Chains A and B, each alone.
Chain A
């Protein structure tokens, strides 16, 4: 009797469970499911600073100039052509005619002026509707935006800056519908309206953002009907969803999963080196690091190959300097510091430290673009110990770390930079020009070299790309010799996707361009 009752009980439980076991629903045609590492913060690219928000928000809005697939060379976007005045102070754009925002209003010069001036002009009616964190960083040099006609608009600069076109490819330079911004006010970031390949459809907080195809997209017909973005923080959960049909595409595959996924016939992997650099900063003004030989010794002492191979497991490529190899500004002849502990010891002895010295290395536990900071730093710590440099690691939470780095107390510090573009001005100037020393700017290495400064300045004033490239090549050679950082790696982004995803390409700017995808 008792046994039979127990059996009945278990049967009921089993039945109830089997009712729950959801057969994986057939995926609706044309819907792409994308896994994000974190939920977008908001969808107005002018008001966000994180990758995930931009990856979604930038499908809705577009910029005057943009990048082709797989490169960060500047090509026409919403502007079909442009001219730059001789003195480099005026950029005049001719907009494509007949383009409409998703709300039906027209894209015109007024909308361009509105989109930029809402961020920099404190008197602008939309200025108070949002917070624009990068307004000064990108547009601090813009004196005014002038409407010349419905389709012609001019940017007047305070001083010439050759990288201005690269700046206009940034998310913050996206052209938004003025009507929508004024209609939604401070809630506009949850209701973005632009001209992009997808229009905003819905957002279930914490669960999904849905974008629908813009049937009237001007560049090419979009082949998928909608994209659903799902924020899934936990790596294993994201991977499981990919393998069980809950996701079609994930980016930022953790290094530890790469080998496993490569063997899995259900998914394909794609790799692409991004416009990113990971470096160990050295405070160039502090003893003993004010001696070039000490800084060079650190570069010889660190085994970057081992870091890239064993810690990053193929998610990073060796760095020779701040500029991404293979781009127009890079110096192909640049030599990376080889791993040579003997040479390091010799240089330290020459600099007066035959027995080495002790120092402190600050490391964030995680952070945007930081890859595996603690593991990478631990390898560097043991490498440095081998040449007599005793390093104390101090790990910090990202927010606390950023505050601490605003001082001048740092000795060694791990940091990375995502320029989003290949223009060397966007990485070398802020990180290494002496006008950008902390706390004013992000030159936390307190690096200064008069000739280097002069080359960067000259390159800013030169609009001819070939001439700029020559200036940057010389600057990079100075940099490698001065060794203000230990150059470590450039991140290789890895995407994994199911076999139904066709035509996907990763972009070196870390953007996630799902509009090129078609589904099988």
Chain B
């Protein structure tokens, strides 16, 4: 187990290097450079060249990349070209907000999805099951930005129940209640698509399991229905669900980019969008590294969870 963990953690290094190379190349090979964007349409050739030199953009690509790697190896992610601030400070500062949002989204979609899926499987073709099928179709096909704006218009503009944007009240506030009030709309928006996917998967897996012989046996020996469904049914259905939840975690991290933009949530996603538009290489690299690291770690956690759920699975 321990050696497995060590091996998986070691594997992080090539994954992160690979990610950073791809991001580096994509950013540098796409047209437009930071000096051009910073100077805008007013720039003269002379200004541009001077700024490019100062930003270190005139050196060959591999030199730029290696210099960046050597700094990263020492824990220095560099300074944002555009904000002039240390990238590490900026990314870590925003990462907390993204974690809060993604974790809430994941919690909401997992719990909600499993609950909805189980309820549908226990009474297939009931009203609830049909309603859940329709909602799922709706939830999975609505783009995040559209859903976010609709929820915002209804709950903030019309009903005035919830704040429309930001993570904290602009003044005052700052307590847990303030945070939760701001979290509801973005978390629901973010979770919607994943929730429906998890719900559908839970339903079909549960339907399959509930028709197994051992379930009949459990019922025959007189167990309460709740125990049959949850202990004997759900626990065995969890392996595919956990796998999908792991994948959804990655999807949520990606979805956070849009959700954060719609709701002015001060996370890494919003920062990364601004960084990409400004071709701020160090900043985007920093954001991507953090997000990639999170995703890899979540996957590792999912793999470890298998062993807990199914004792037959062992790692060595």
Chain A positions within 8 Å of B149 at CB level? 234, 236-237
CA distance A24 to B171 in the complex (A): 11
Chain B positions within 8 Å of A240 at CB level? 152-153, 156-157, 164-165
Q: Say yes or no: is A303 at the interface (Cβ < 8 Å to chain B).
A: no
By beta carbon, the residue of chain B nearest A208 is: B170
Given contacts A21-B181, A207-B168, A397-B32, contact A439 B162 (CB under 8 A): no
CA distance A41 to B184 in the complex (A): 29
Contact B171 A228 (CB under 8 A): yes
Given contacts A19-B177, A20-B180, A22-B162, contact A403 B156 (CB under 8 A): no
Q: Say yes or no: is A47 at the interface (Cβ < 8 Å to chain B).
A: yes
Contact A49 B171 (CB under 8 A): no
B residues 47-90 touching A (CB-CB < 8 Å): 47, 50-51, 54-55, 79, 82-85, 90
B residues 94-137 touching A (CB-CB < 8 Å): 94, 97
Q: Say yes or no: is B277 at the interface (Cβ < 8 Å to chain A).
A: yes
CA distance A28 to B169 in the complex (A): 12
Contact A442 B44 (CB under 8 A): yes
Q: Say yes or no: is A206 at the interface (Cβ < 8 Å to chain B).
A: yes
Most buried by A among B46, B47, B164, B270: B164
Contact B162 A21 (CB under 8 A): yes
Given contacts A25-B172, A189-B84, A240-B156, contact A39 B274 (CB under 8 A): yes
What is the CB-to-nearest-CB distance from B288 to chain A, in angstroms, rounded to a whole number? 18
- Interface residues of A toward B: which range? 35 or more
CA distance A416 to B41 in the complex (A): 8
What is the CB-to-nearest-CB distance from B160 to chain A, in angstroms, rounded to a whole number? 6
Q: Say yes or no: is A187 at the interface (Cβ < 8 Å to chain B).
A: yes
Indicate which residue in B47, B157, B178, B261 contacts A22 across the interface (CB closer than 8 Å): B178
Q: Say yes or no: is A130 at the interface (Cβ < 8 Å to chain B).
A: yes
Contact B41 A402 (CB under 8 A): yes
Contact A403 B264 (CB under 8 A): no
Contact B45 A186 (CB under 8 A): no
CA distance A403 to B262 in the complex (A): 29
CA distance A136 to B162 in the complex (A): 49
Contact A231 B169 (CB under 8 A): no
Chain A positions within 8 Å of B214 at CB level? none
Chain B positions within 8 Å of A189 at CB level? 83-84
Chain B positions within 8 Å of A367 at CB level? 41
Contact B45 A441 (CB under 8 A): yes
- Interface residues of B toward A: which range? 35 or more
What is the CB-to-nearest-CB distance from A171 to chain B, in angstroms, rounded to a whole number? 13
B residues 1-53 touching A (CB-CB < 8 Å): 30-33, 35-47, 50-51
Q: Say yes or no: is B143 at the interface (Cβ < 8 Å to chain A).
A: no
Given contacts A439-B45, A442-B44, contact A228 B84 (CB under 8 A): no
Contact B181 A204 (CB under 8 A): no
B residues 143-195 touching A (CB-CB < 8 Å): 145, 149, 152-153, 156-157, 160-173, 177-178, 180-181, 184
Q: Say yes or no: is B267 at the interface (Cβ < 8 Å to chain A).
A: yes
Given contacts A131-B84, A207-B168, A397-B32, contact A234 B262 (CB under 8 A): yes
By beta carbon, the residue of chain B nearest A140 is: B46
CA distance A164 to B177 in the complex (A): 54
Chain A positions within 8 Å of B36 at CB level? 399, 402-403, 406
Q: Say yes or no: is B263 at the interface (Cβ < 8 Å to chain A).
A: yes
Contact A400 B32 (CB under 8 A): yes
Most buried by B among A19, A47, A131, A187: A131
Given contacts A137-B44, A208-B170, contact A22 B264 (CB under 8 A): no
A residues 29-51 touching B (CB-CB < 8 Å): 31, 33, 38-39, 41-42, 47, 49
Q: Say yes or no: is A232 at the interface (Cβ < 8 Å to chain B).
A: yes
Q: Say yes or no: is A386 at the interface (Cβ < 8 Å to chain B).
A: no
A residues 222-236 touching B (CB-CB < 8 Å): 228, 230-234, 236
Q: Say yes or no: is B279 at the interface (Cβ < 8 Å to chain A).
A: yes
Contact B170 A246 (CB under 8 A): yes
CA distance A406 to B39 in the complex (A): 13
Q: Say yes or no: is A82 at the interface (Cβ < 8 Å to chain B).
A: no
What is the CB-to-nearest-CB distance from A447 to chain B, in angstroms, rounded to a whole number? 16
Indicate which residue in A42, A402, A404 contacts B84 across the interface (CB closer than 8 Å): A42
What is the CB-to-nearest-CB distance from A364 to chain B, in angstroms, rounded to a whole number? 9
Indicate which residue in A134, A244, A400 contacts B160 across the interface (CB closer than 8 Å): A244
What is the CB-to-nearest-CB distance from B163 to chain A, in angstroms, rounded to a whole number? 6
Most buried by B among A39, A41, A130, A417: A41
Given contacts A206-B267, A206-B270, contact A133 B38 (CB under 8 A): yes
Q: Say yes or no: is A272 at the interface (Cβ < 8 Å to chain B).
A: no
CA distance A3 to B260 in the complex (A): 39
Chain B positions within 8 Å of A49 at CB level? 38-40
CA distance A509 to B198 in the complex (A): 53
CA distance A403 to B147 in the complex (A): 35
Contact B164 A20 (CB under 8 A): no
Contact B84 A136 (CB under 8 A): no
Contact A230 B37 (CB under 8 A): no
Indicate which residue in B82, B177, B265 contacts A41 across the interface (CB closer than 8 Å): B82
Q: Say yes or no: is B141 at the interface (Cβ < 8 Å to chain A).
A: no
Indicate which residue in B35, B38, B168, B264 contacts A237 across the interface (CB closer than 8 Å): B264
CA distance A31 to B96 in the complex (A): 28
Chain A positions within 8 Å of B263 at CB level? 234, 237
Contact A404 B83 (CB under 8 A): no
Q: Say yes or no: is B139 at the interface (Cβ < 8 Å to chain A).
A: no
CA distance A17 to B161 in the complex (A): 9
Chain A positions within 8 Å of B54 at CB level? 131
Q: Say yes or no: is A291 at the interface (Cβ < 8 Å to chain B).
A: no
CA distance A247 to B165 in the complex (A): 11
12 pairs of residues in contact across A and B, judged by CB atoms under 8 Å: A20-B177, A41-B278, A49-B40, A133-B38, A208-B170, A244-B156, A246-B164, A247-B170, A396-B31, A417-B41, A440-B44, A442-B42
Known pairs A20-B180, A240-B165 / 9 extra A-B pairs, C-beta < 8 Å: A19-B177, A28-B172, A38-B274, A41-B278, A134-B42, A136-B47, A137-B44, A206-B265, A234-B149
State the 8 A-B residue pairs at the shortest beta-carbon distance, nearest first.
A206-B266, A399-B32, A400-B31, A240-B164, A237-B165, A232-B264, A400-B32, A21-B161
> A: which residues have CB within 8 A of B?
17, 19-22, 24-25, 27-28, 31, 33, 38-39, 41-42, 47, 49, 130-131, 133-137, 140, 186-187, 189-190, 204-208, 228, 230-234, 236-238, 240-241, 243-244, 246-247, 367-368, 396-406, 415-417, 430, 436, 439-442
